Amino acid sequence: MAIVPVILSGGGGTRLWPLSTPEKPKQFLALTDDRTMFQLTLDRVSNAEQYAAPIIVANSAHAGLIENQCADENAIILLEPCARNTAPAIALAALSASDPKAILLVMPSDHVINNVAAFHAATQAALPLVEAGWLVTYGITPTGPETGYGYIQMGDALSGGLQSVARFVEKPDLARATAMLAEGNHSWNGGIFLFRADVYLGALSVHAPDMLAAAHKAMAAATHSGNRITPDAQAFAECPSDSIDYAIMEKAERVAVVPVAMGWSDVGSWDALYELNAKDDTGNAITGAARIEGASGNLIHTDGIRVSIQGVDDLIVVANGKEVLIIPRGQSQDVKKFSS
Amino acid sequence: MAIVPVILSGGGGTRLWPLSTPEKPKQFLALTDDRTMFQLTLDRVSNAEQYAAPIIVANSAHAGLIENQCADENAIILLEPCARNTAPAIALAALSASDPKAILLVMPSDHVINNVAAFHAATQAALPLVEAGWLVTYGITPTGPETGYGYIQMGDALSGGLQSVARFVEKPDLARATAMLAEGNHSWNGGIFLFRADVYLGALSVHAPDMLAAAHKAMAAATHSGNRITPDAQAFAECPSDSIDYAIMEKAERVAVVPVAMGWSDVGSWDALYELNAKDDTGNAITGAARIEGASGNLIHTDGIRVSIQGVDDLIVVANGKEVLIIPRGQSQDVKKFSS
């Protein structure tokens, strides 16, 4: 049975400000490739032998962007009238699956995966447990003591190389992250999931019945226009807002992690993008019109205005529209404050 | 007899790039005041009891800017068909003076003078020697070992507090500048002059007769339109190009310097402008739309685009039109390379 990709496009667009904005968040930008993050996500699951047409869950304000960037006429586009975090978004998708037992591959639309073969191999490894009713999360093998990610402590070995989840760990401080790396058996929580639609809905009925009821009601009163589905606004507004991790994964019984090393990043900051980008001989990563004299280690990303720098090192310079941001590399977690 | 201001507006617009450009060089920008440098220069010599209407010598490409920024209907506007440096520009002005013995106060249009009273006092002190046929240059009392200015070594005392010129010193290195300050009796060459029109033309006839002949020819064939005078392009193109310092002041006999401390700057770089500008509590000098978080000692000058900085110190950030420049303070002498 073909896997149904569920692509979550709810990102708000604050962490890569001023390039990403609420009107055009990160997933709709071409940051690491000619294709946008959203297009790269679609392309990863475009093989018709393995994957059915995707279900895309997006902010209704981005309907035009979605349609411009998705060529698949069979894609189902679920337009959320308001944001209610990931658990309800995935509930809408699970309720839209034509087969109740459809296997859903739930993915954020704005992550980088450099080793797509490893991603597919992990999915294949997880399928037997998923078919047997487990909820599987992808555990990214850590490459450093990142403090910007949640972690998963892995427990007993299961079949296919999967492991049970001992516990989920919130974003740690550096000491805690370093300790987990030294300890081993921890992975990053990548926000990617594989499970049967009916298993997820069953878990919701146990752990978040109000959420399931609201999602049902919103879908029952949804408006349809071609392949666009807009859940009823009032019903969906009454849905509790929660993440799949909090609402389901931390509470459900048969939860497994599939460990995978796949060159993954959530591109959650300009610093993360600097790490991903190609650099010149002196470590400058340049996108757009720029002139560099005696300057090293800078990230320049400009959409129009030309940036001329001399004698400055390790800066992040981002120009977009009527805004230009200048901060040192290593401090890009603080960009949010400028975005509002 | 009223003094005739001669305002030289030949600047090329490279040192304060990207704000100043060949199309709109420094003198036409409001950098230190609501008024532009050119307007501030006019206003300094606008007292009708002391000053006649000005003669403005400008690049013909800037005729519109000159007329927009000069309200004096009696001003004579000499539009140079090509640039030939200061000595020919002043020759055109001297030939345009209605009285051959008119006293000309020659000033660049893009300098700051904070103590205008001291400037006027110096002019008054110089008048007796000027009326007696001397060529007077204003010697600015140095406030530091600047390497961006030419210096004047002052010689014997003359009447009125003036001194003879022992010699002109090219822009020195820091050691030489420091030595001159320690030695005393040196001033900065401010490029401001006071002399009779006939005395200047007489000096030209002795030291630069080809220049005088070409200027004569260009004015004889000039076209007139209202108060605009455009010297003949072909004749003026044949004029040798030279500065008044090289062509006349270093060669003529009766040359005097009037020492003056008047808060002068040629605003020759972004660093110089930073020194002149008002700063906030953490030493940021801001013009235009900017947001600052934990950043000190920065000069931000933006014309439209909003600049958001955090955690960066002692930078010069200048945005104008489709360009943004980022350099450390102290390195703004190198901006020229970006301007072409």
Domains present along chain B, CATH in parentheses:
4-265 (3.90.550.10), 270-338 (no CATH)
CB of A40 within 8 Å of a chain B CB? The answer is no
What is the chain A residue with the closest CA to B325? A308
φ, ψ of residue A99 in degrees (nearest 5):
-105, 120
Query: CB–CB of A323 and B312 under 8 A?
Result: no
Question: What value does the mean pLDDT take over residues B166-170?
Answer: 94
What is the chain A residue with the closest CA to B310? A327
Of A291, A323, A334, the CB nearest to B306: A323
Question: What value does the mean pLDDT take over residues B123-145?
Answer: 97
Could you check whether the bond before residue B54 is cis, i.e. omega within 30 degrees of 0? no
Count, residues in chain A: 340
pLDDT reported for residue A339: 81
Of B18, B305, B331, the CB nearest to A310: B331
pLDDT reported for residue B299: 98
Interface test with B, best of A14, A303, A305 (most B CBs within 10 A): A305
User: How many pairs of residues across A and B have Cβ atoms under 8 Å apart?
Assistant: 83
Interface test with A, best of B296, B325, B326, B339 (most A CBs within 10 A): B326
Q: Is A283 left (phi over 0), alpha (psi -120 to 50) or beta?
A: left
Query: CB–CB of A291 and B326 under 8 A?
Result: no
pLDDT reported for residue B1: 77
Residue A12, pLDDT > 80, answer no
Residue B13, pLDDT > 80, answer no
Question: What value does the mean pLDDT take over residues B88-108?
Answer: 97
pLDDT reported for residue A274: 96
Contact yes or no for B48/B27 (Cβ under 8 A): no
Query: CB–CB of A328 and B312 under 8 A?
Result: yes
pLDDT reported for residue A185: 95
Q: In angstroms, rounded to a whole number, what is the distance separating the alpha carbons of residues B329 and B270? A: 8
Tell whether the torsion through CA atoms of A195, A198, A200 and A206 is positive or negative.
Answer: negative
Contact yes or no for A270/A300 (Cβ under 8 A): no
CB of B325 within 8 Å of a chain A CB? The answer is yes
Question: What value does the mean pLDDT take over residues B110-124?
Answer: 97
Put simply, the chain A residues between 252 and 291 with a CB less than 8 A from any chain B CB are 291
Query: CB–CB of B308 and A331 under 8 A?
Result: no
Query: CB–CB of B307 and A317 under 8 A?
Result: no
CA A47 from centroid of its chain's CA atoms:
20
pLDDT reported for residue B214: 98
Question: What value does the mean pLDDT take over residues B205-225?
Answer: 97
Query: CB–CB of B315 and A312 under 8 A?
Result: yes
pLDDT reported for residue A14: 84
Query: CB–CB of B328 and A311 under 8 A?
Result: yes
Q: How close is the nearest chain A Cα to the Cα of B217, in Å?
A: 45
Q: In angstroms, rounded to a whole number, what is the distance separating the alpha carbons of residues A303 and A286? A: 11
Q: Give B-chain residues touching A319 at CB under 8 angstroms.
A: 305, 324
Of B305, B325, B327, the CB nearest to A322: B305
CB of A10 within 8 Å of a chain B CB? The answer is no
Long-range contact list for A162-168, CB < 8 A, 24+ apart? Answer: A162/A125, A162/A126, A162/A129, A162/A136, A162/A256, A162/A257, A162/A258, A162/A259, A163/A139, A163/A256, A163/A257, A163/A259, A164/A255, A164/A256, A164/A257, A165/A137, A165/A249, A165/A255, A165/A256, A165/A257, A168/A245, A168/A249, A168/A250
Q: Give A-chain residues touching B291 at CB under 8 angstroms.
A: 338
Of A307, A323, A334, the CB nearest to B326: A307
**Cα distance from N-terminal residue to C-terminal residue, chain B:** 45
CA B64 from centroid of its chain's CA atoms:
20
Q: How close is the nearest chain B Cα to the Cα of A14, in Å?
A: 14
Query: CB–CB of A338 and B310 under 8 A?
Result: yes
Question: What value does the mean pLDDT take over residues B179-203?
Answer: 97
Other CB atoms closer than 10 Å to residue B198's CB: what's the count? 15
| Residue A179: pLDDT band with limits 50, 70, 90 | very high
Other CB atoms closer than 10 Å to residue B289's CB: what's the count? 16
Residue whose structure tokens are 């509470």: A251
pLDDT reported for residue A162: 98
Question: What value does the mean pLDDT take over residues B165-189?
Answer: 96
CB of A327 within 8 Å of a chain B CB? The answer is yes
Residue A1, pLDDT > 80, answer no
What is the chain B residue with the closest CA to A331? B311
Query: CB–CB of A328 and B307 under 8 A?
Result: no
pLDDT reported for residue A180: 97
Query: CB–CB of B334 and A18 under 8 A?
Result: no
Contact yes or no for B321/B328 (Cβ under 8 A): no
CB of B327 within 8 Å of a chain A CB? The answer is yes
pTM (2 decimals)?
0.87
Q: Give B-chain residues touching A308 at CB under 8 angstroms.
A: 18, 323-326, 338
| Residue with the larger pLDDT of the pair B234 and B339 | B234
Helical axes B197-207 vs B86-96, angle rounded to 10°: 130
Q: How close is the nearest chain A Cα to the Cα of B270, in Å?
A: 14
pLDDT reported for residue B69: 96
Query: CB–CB of B324 and A306 under 8 A?
Result: yes
Contact yes or no for A47/A3 (Cβ under 8 A): no
Q: How close is the nearest chain B Cα to the Cα of A330, in Å?
A: 10
Put simply, the chain A residues between 288 and 317 with a CB less than 8 A from any chain B CB are 291, 293, 304-312, 315, 317
pLDDT reported for residue B339: 81
Question: Burial of A299 by CB count in 10 Å (0-12 exposed, 13-18 middle, 19+ buried)?
Answer: buried
Query: CB–CB of A323 and B304 under 8 A?
Result: no
φ, ψ of residue B195 in degrees (nearest 5):
-165, 165
What is the chain B residue with the closest CA to A294? B327
Residue A340, pLDDT > 80, answer no
Q: How close is the nearest chain A Cα to the Cα of B142, in Å?
A: 29
pLDDT reported for residue A335: 87
Contact yes or no for A14/A336 (Cβ under 8 A): yes
DSSP strands (E only) in A18-101: 55-59, 76-80
